[in-house]
């Protein structure tokens, strides 16, 4: 196999972004797209950009015979049923080699573990898509600071944030469909990337042992009557009845199993970040050295004055989730690469072509889900959770947060 034929299930926001990333990735093509909203438009983009000649197919079983790997880019609430159909098709003889799944792997620990099991039972290679661990800006900084880490000791604190003014589709806002609010949606990125930065070079992704979790979930903007009305109008979601958090912050403590040293990852995520658009901000401190990444500081900026503002075409082509189209604007000329999408896709393609799992497999994805759910539990209980406690570990196996159950009022309005 020289080129990996990919099938996309889901043709919305992330599928389009991944197709843009694919323009910079070798040895792959899109051979099938699942027949759902957006499929025809995505197929047109794929053909126009010579990324493949995709067939639009309305059966997952048939898709599994038409590609080498399937990428699940559909909403969180349909993950498991899609994975069940894929596993079933493979067990019945479909020649599929691998499966890719966007974050989060599951809305609960139970769901994520089922995803792992289904892939294992069907003997499929896996790739969990967590783009931030593939960000060249982060990995470059870690590479540059490797001599300092070796001489002085590793990073002791990593702070990571992903923030914007709110998601683009109704299902993200509905905690019963999405699995929670901004913690489930973006906390998974920030917790994972903080751990990655703290992990000593050359050690596996799960080398650092999580020992404690502190977390606070709150509803700062979208629970106010004026903004609740806006959500109802635009997305049909009622935050007076089923609210989700639009702000979260927490600290996860890890132990280095070789030295016993404790290090901390502080994560902050919001859907009420009313600045230019999406901001990724990571900084980390070690003894005598530091690093910082801020996606709103770009080498490229444009200016649009009031007089010229009416003719702005599409602010989102400048920056994901942008909120303004005039003034001094931060612009990313290659967002797909900056966010790590190209590198994660290249890694999945190369790994699958070599017959192995990607750098981040489904088991890793399940571990991230576990940490996110531990954060919900810590916030609900209002205390630092001991992640080494067997009772806590047992509770997490079947835990579903009150927010995800649609009972967010009990935690967010008190
Ligand atoms: N890594 C990132 O930065 C990032 C960014 C955005 C989204 N995501 C993840 O990607 C996934 C999709 O998000 P999105 O923003 O593209 O959502 P979206 O709502 O924009 O698109 C969802 C797509 O799935 C399709 N779909 C809906 N129900 C389906 C079903 N039952 N079977 C098959 N397809 C179905 C829709 O038609 C649509 O094409 C989510 O899990 C989200 O968490 C990741």
What spacing in Å lies between the alpha carbon of 265 and ligand 1's midpoint? 28
Report the pLDDT value the prediction gives residue 314, as an integer from 0 to 100: 64
Closest CA to 74 of 160, 14, 19: 14
Q: How many CB atoms lie within 10 A of CB 154?
A: 22
Report the pLDDT value the prediction gives residue 304, as an integer from 0 to 100: 86
What spacing in Å lies between the alpha carbon of 27 and ligand 1's midpoint? 24
Instruction: Check the CA dihedral 318-322-324-330 and report its sign.
Output: negative
Q: Is the beta carbon of 36 within 6 A of some atom in ligand 1? A: yes
* Each residue's pLDDT tens digit, 107-138: 999 999 999 999 999 999 999 999 999 999 99
What spacing in Å lies between the alpha carbon of 101 and ligand 1's midpoint? 11
What spacing in Å lies between the alpha carbon of 129 and ligand 1's midpoint? 13
What spacing in Å lies between the alpha carbon of 152 and ligand 1's midpoint? 43
What spacing in Å lies between the alpha carbon of 172 and ligand 1's midpoint? 9
Roughly how many angstroms between the first and final C-alpha of the chain, as a whole number?
A: 57
Closest CA to 277 of 341, 314, 331: 331
Q: Is the beta carbon of 12 within 6 A of some atom in ligand 1? A: yes
- CA gap 7, 69 in Å, rounded: 6
- pLDDT in tens for each of the 414 residues of the chain? 589 999 999 999 999 999 999 999 999 999 999 999 999 999 999 999 999 999 999 999 999 999 999 999 999 999 999 999 999 999 999 999 999 999 999 999 999 999 999 999 999 999 999 999 999 999 999 999 999 999 999 999 999 999 999 999 999 999 999 999 999 999 999 999 999 999 999 999 999 999 999 999 999 999 999 999 999 999 999 999 999 999 999 999 999 999 999 999 999 999 999 988 899 999 999 999 999 999 999 989 888 888 887 766 566 666 778 888 888 888 888 999 999 999 999 999 999 999 999 999 999 999 999 999 999 999 999 999 999 999 999 999 999 999 999 999 999 987
Q: Is the beta carbon of 272 within 6 A of some atom in ligand 1? A: no
* Each residue's pLDDT tens digit, 164-196: 999 999 999 999 999 999 999 999 999 999 999
Report the pLDDT value the prediction gives residue 305, as an integer from 0 to 100: 85
> Within 13 A of 69's CA, how many CA atoms are on the CB side?
31
Give the DSSP H or E segment for 373.
helix 362-381
Q: Hey, which of 8, 14, 269 would you mutate to test ligand 1's pocket, going by the most ligand atoms within 8 Å of its Cβ?
A: 14
Q: Is 384 helix (H, G, I), strand (E, B) or coil?
A: coil
Ligand 1 atom with the smallest distance to the CA of 81 is: 31
Minimal-distance CA residue to ligand 1 atom 18 = 12
Q: Is the beta carbon of 103 within 6 A of some atom in ligand 1? A: yes
What spacing in Å lies between the alpha carbon of 77 and ligand 1's midpoint? 10
Q: Is the beta carbon of 9 within 6 A of some atom in ligand 1? A: yes
Q: Is the beta carbon of 38 within 6 A of some atom in ligand 1? A: yes
Measure Cα distances from 382 to 5, 217, 243, 374, 398 in Å.
48, 10, 18, 12, 19
Q: Hey, which of 73, 163, 344, 348 would you mutate to test ligand 1's pocket, going by the most ligand atoms within 8 Å of its Cβ?
A: 73
Report the pLDDT value the prediction gives residue 313, as an integer from 0 to 100: 59
What spacing in Å lies between the alpha carbon of 259 and ligand 1's midpoint? 41
Structure tokens at 258: 């070789």
Domains 4-131+341-360 and 133-334+369-412 share a fold: no
Domain ranges of the chain: 4-131+341-360, 133-334+369-412
Q: Is the beta carbon of 169 within 6 A of some atom in ligand 1? A: yes
Q: Is the beta carbon of 13 within 6 A of some atom in ligand 1? A: yes
Contact 184/79 with Cβ under 8 angstroms? no
Is 400 exposed, middle or buried (CB count within 10 Å of its CB: 0-12, 13-18, 19+)? Answer: middle
Q: Is the beta carbon of 74 within 6 A of some atom in ligand 1? A: yes
Report the pLDDT value the prediction gives residue 351, as an integer from 0 to 100: 98
CATH of domain 4-131+341-360: 3.40.50.720
Report the pLDDT value the prediction gives residue 318, as an integer from 0 to 100: 65
Domain 133-334+369-412, second-level architecture: 2-Layer Sandwich (3.30)
Q: Is the beta carbon of 78 within 6 A of some atom in ligand 1? A: yes
- Residue 107 per-residue DSSP state: S
One DSSP character per residue, 111-157 reads: HHHHHHHHHHHTT-EEEEE-GGGG-HHHHHHHHHTHHHHHHH----E
Ligand 1 atom with the smallest distance to the CA of 39 is: 39
What spacing in Å lies between the alpha carbon of 12 and ligand 1's midpoint? 5
Ligand 1 atom with the smallest distance to the CA of 15 is: 16
């Amino acid at each position: 196999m020289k080129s990996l034929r990919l099938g996309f299930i889901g043709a919305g926001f992330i599928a389009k972004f991944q197709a843009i990333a694919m323009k910079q990735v070798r040895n792959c093509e899109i051979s099938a797209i699942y027949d759902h909203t957006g499929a025809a438009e995505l197929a047109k983009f794929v053909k126009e950009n010579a990324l493949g000649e995709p067939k639009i197919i309305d059966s997952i079983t048939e898709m599994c015979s038409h590609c080498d790997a399937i990428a699940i880019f559909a909403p969180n609430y349909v993950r498991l049923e899609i994975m069940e159909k894929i596993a079933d098709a493979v067990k019945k003889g479909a020649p599929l080699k691998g499966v890719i799944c966007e974050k989060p792997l599951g809305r609960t620990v139970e769901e994520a573990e089922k995803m792992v099991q289904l892939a294992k039972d069907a003997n499929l290679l896996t790739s969990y898509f967590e783009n931030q661990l593939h960000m060249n800006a982060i990995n470059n900084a870690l590479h540059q600071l490797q001599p300092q880490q070796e001489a002085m000791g590793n990073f002791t604190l990593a702070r990571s944030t992903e923030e914007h003014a709110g998601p683009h589709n109704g299902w993200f806002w509905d905690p019963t469909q999405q699995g929670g609010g901004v913690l489930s949606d973006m906390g998974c990125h920030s917790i994972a990337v903080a751990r990655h930065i703290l992990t000593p070079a050359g050690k596996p992704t799960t080398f650092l042992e999580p020992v404690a979790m502190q977390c606070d979930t709150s509803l700062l903007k979208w629970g106010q009557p004026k903004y609740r009305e806006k959500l109802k109008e635009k997305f049909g979601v009622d935050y007076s009845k089923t609210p989700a958090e639009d702000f979260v912050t927490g600290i996860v403590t890890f132990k280095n199993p070789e030295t016993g040293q404790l290090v901390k990852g502080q994560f902050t995520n919001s859907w009420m970040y009313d600045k230019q658009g999406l901001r990724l901000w990571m900084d980390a401190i070690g003894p005598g050295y530091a690093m910082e990444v801020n996606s709103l500081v770009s080498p490229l900026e444009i200016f649009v004055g009031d007089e010229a503002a009416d003719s702005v075409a599409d602010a989102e082509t400048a920056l994901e989730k942008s909120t303004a189209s005039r003034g001094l604007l931060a612009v990313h000329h290659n967002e797909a690469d900056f966010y790590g999408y190209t590198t994660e896709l290249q890694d999945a393609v190369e790994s699958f072509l070599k017959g192995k799992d990607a750098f981040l497999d489904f088991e890793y994805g399940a571990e991230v889900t576990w940490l996110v759910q531990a954060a919900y539990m810590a916030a609900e209980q209002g205390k630092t959770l001991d992640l080494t406690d067997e009772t806590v570990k047992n509770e997490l196996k079947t835990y579903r947060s009150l927010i995800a159950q649609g009972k967010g009022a009990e935690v967010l309005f008190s």
